[in-house]
Structure 1
Amino acid sequence: MAFRLTLIRHGVAEGANEAIFGQSNPPLSSLGREQLDLRWAALSAQPIDAIASSTLARCADFALDAAMSLGLAVHLERGFNEMNFGSIDGKAKSEWGLAEHTAWDLWQQDPAQHTLPDGESWAAFSNRIHTALNAWFASGEAEHRVLIAHQGTIKAILLAALGLPATRHNQFWLAPAGCVTLWWDEHWPPMLLDISNTLPDTP
């Protein structure tokens, strides 16, 4: 069955200016919640019949409320969690050493070839995301699926869908509460319909 798949990045998390969060687990800031409220107000004006989310608080807390507002169950899945960034995960950037800065720069250039210290490899990260995605798709039919997740998770889905290497990951930068929509058909390659980094106006 063909369907629309909308991927939403979570809003700004508490402490996001000071650190990079992978599987460390801060909640949304008040601004982050406002950002997602604006995105959801516009998106939910269209029919939605399946919602999934990372289990991390900056995604799951909002996803649970969004699903409840539509009378839907939410599919919470650890497989959609952000990459484990190892020694820098949640660590204040002001405390990074030279080796950590160098490792981050190399990872940005090619995450498939440069795993962060004590971090998750790109291959393992991408594999768990697509295992989770396929399991969600197989769990029941839906015409419009919404996944609330992380920038890295969404990038991995888009790169695989479009047949691009990990070196192109920065091509798909998403703002907080940014949104991507794909047309997904099991018989054809996914089609990119829209990328929006601009939040809707306040209703």
Structure 2
Amino acid sequence: MSVFTTVDLLRHGEPEGGQKFRGAIDDPLSALGWEQMRTAVGNYQAWDAVISSPLIRCAAFARELTGRIDKPLTITGGFSELSFGIWEGRAVAEVNAADAQALGQFWRDPVGHPIPQGEPVADFDRRIGAAWDGLLRDYQGQHVLLVAHGGVIRMILRRLLDMPLHRIWRIEVPYAAISRIRRHCDPEAEPHLVFHNGHLA
């Protein structure tokens, strides 16, 4: 077992259905999305285990990958995406045309201007924080891959960088982007961001 815990964060690729608010909606990956994720991972297989959101745009690729590299897979509901409430399934352009003010307020301050019927961002942050703490505890000293969503990855990086919660949209997380976090197994050690939107090596 290593003295470091290393976690690679992989966002899912492009889903079917185009650009829209897609939190709880379970759209599968498009053909391009599959290609994006396979390209991002390449022949890399140094992980001890893979953890995935249960949503199919993450879990389908995680199952394919673990079958290929013969490593265990854990599906964790705590890493599901933020629910976008009344905007779920609607195109971003449609929401902007219908209520540009509400959309702009949400982008600027998602805590102070939540989406009606959506998951409050503070609750989302607590959920991701609990799942992340559990991952670091359960996989201490291992190198693991977390296949998740843009919002999930932003929340993890927000905690790591001690960013204000209302500034999460400042972090770019493209489809199939990979980031790496490493933490010494000393319980007092702080995790480090090794790279963001980088490449496996």
Q: Same fold (TM over 0.5)?
A: yes
Task: Give per-residue Cα distances to partners, 1:159-202, cap 9 Å, x unaligned.
Answer: 011111123213321111011111123322211111126799xx
The letter of the residue matching 1:177 is: A
Displacement of 1:101:
3.3
Unaligned regions of 5+ residues in structure 1, if any? none
Name which of structure 1's ranges 72-81 and 186-195 shifts more when overlaid on structure 2: 186-195
Q: Do the aligned partners of residues 122 and 94 (structure 1) sit closer, same or farther apart at CA in structure 2, a change above 3 Å counting?
A: closer
User: Cα RMSD between the aligned structures?
Assistant: 2.1
Question: Is 1:89 paired with 2:88?
Answer: yes
Tell me the TM-score normalised to structure 2 length. Answer: 0.89
Partners of 1:105 and 1:42 in 2: CA distance: 41
Matched with 1:39 is 40
Matched with 2:21 is 20
Tell me the TM-score normalised to structure 1 length. Answer: 0.88
**Is residue 25–residue 57 contact of structure 1 (8 Å, CA) maintained in 2?**
yes
Partners of 1:164 and 1:149 in 2: CA distance: 20
Q: Do the aligned partners of residues 150 and 97 (structure 1) sit closer, same or farther apart at CA in structure 2, a change above 3 Å counting?
A: closer
Question: Is 1:155 paired with 2:154?
Answer: yes
Name which of structure 1's ranges 64-73 and 74-83 shifts more when overlaid on structure 2: 64-73
Displacement of 1:140:
4.2
Q: List aligned pairs for 1:92-171, cutoff 5 A.
A: 92-93=91-92, 95-96=94-95, 100-171=99-170
Unaligned regions of 5+ residues in structure 2, if any? none
Task: Give per-residue Cα distances to partners, 1:122-151, cap 9 Å, x unaligned.
Answer: 111011112112223333444211100000
Aligned pair count reads 197
**Is residue 4–residue 184 contact of structure 1 (8 Å, CA) maintained in 2?**
yes
4+ runs of 1 displaced by more than 3 Å? 92-101, 197-200
The letter of the residue matching 1:15 is: G
Partners of 1:55 and 1:63 in 2: CA distance: 10
Question: Identity across aligned pairs (percent)?
Answer: 30
